[in-house]
Amino acid sequence: GLLLPAFFISSVSFAAEPVCAVVKIEIQQELTLERQAFDAVMRINNGLDLLSLENVNINVTFKDETGASVEATSDTNSTTAKFFIKVDSMTGIDAIDGTGTVAPKTTAEVHWLIIPAPGAGGVTPSGKLYFIGATLNYNLGGELQTTTVTPDSIYVRSEERRVGKECRSRWSPYH
């Protein structure tokens, strides 16, 4: 008879643990072409009543179909990056560089504009599969928390696959 109350107490204390942040990254498109921008959105839901998520830092990660890291940058002069990325909009958070805050009982939303570089689509007709995820760091009550955000996927096709008859219209000097 003594084991049942002890088990009950431990399960109650476990159930009382708050879910502090629910984080998800989404890409609505399943396919894009090189040099064609697409949107990735991350939502950070702070379900806590009193504590803010502070010093929020988001590092967006890019991997190919083998799991190898792929270079992405905001430097448009890069000749080695497979992707160019920039923050397009933020609501419910003021920064994602380690100084941002998500208030209690709110959801922050960050949109990135991502552009695959020439060559990112590979050489096969189906294109190349990439996984875009993130690492989220924040302080909660003075304690550093790290969350690895499950990646979403997108296929990138070479823009050369679409160059053909449809690009040689009547006005083109090349037909």
**What are the C-alpha distances in Å from 77 to residues 60, 84, 160?**
19, 10, 22
Predicted confidence band of residue 128 (pLDDT cuts 50, 70, 90): very high
Q: Is the pLDDT of residue 95 over 50?
A: yes
pLDDT at 25: 93
pLDDT at 22: 81
Q: Is the pLDDT of residue 129 over 70?
A: yes
pLDDT digits (tens, 9 = 90+) for 68-86: 999 999 999 999 999 999 9
pLDDT digits (tens, 9 = 90+) for 21-67: 788 999 999 999 999 999 999 999 999 999 999 999 999 999 999 99
The values of phi and psi at residue 2, to 5°, are -75, -25
Q: What is the mean pLDDT of residues 99-108?
A: 97
Q: What is the mean pLDDT of residues 91-98?
A: 98
pTM: 0.80
Predicted confidence band of residue 172 (pLDDT cuts 50, 70, 90): very low
**What are the C-alpha distances in Å from 115 to residues 35, 95, 155?**
6, 21, 12
**114 vs 85: CA distance, rounded Å:** 5
Q: Is the pLDDT of residue 8 over 90?
A: no
44: how many CB neighbours lie within 10 A of its CB? Answer: 25
Of the candidates 92, 26, 90, 14, the one whose C-alpha atom is nearest the C-alpha of residue 53 is 92
Higher pLDDT pick, 35 / 167? 35
pLDDT at 20: 63
pLDDT at 19: 52
pLDDT digits (tens, 9 = 90+) for 149-166: 999 999 999 976 544 444
pLDDT at 3: 37
Give the distance from CA 137 to its chain's centroid: 14
pLDDT at 159: 77
The values of phi and psi at residue 4, to 5°, are -60, -50
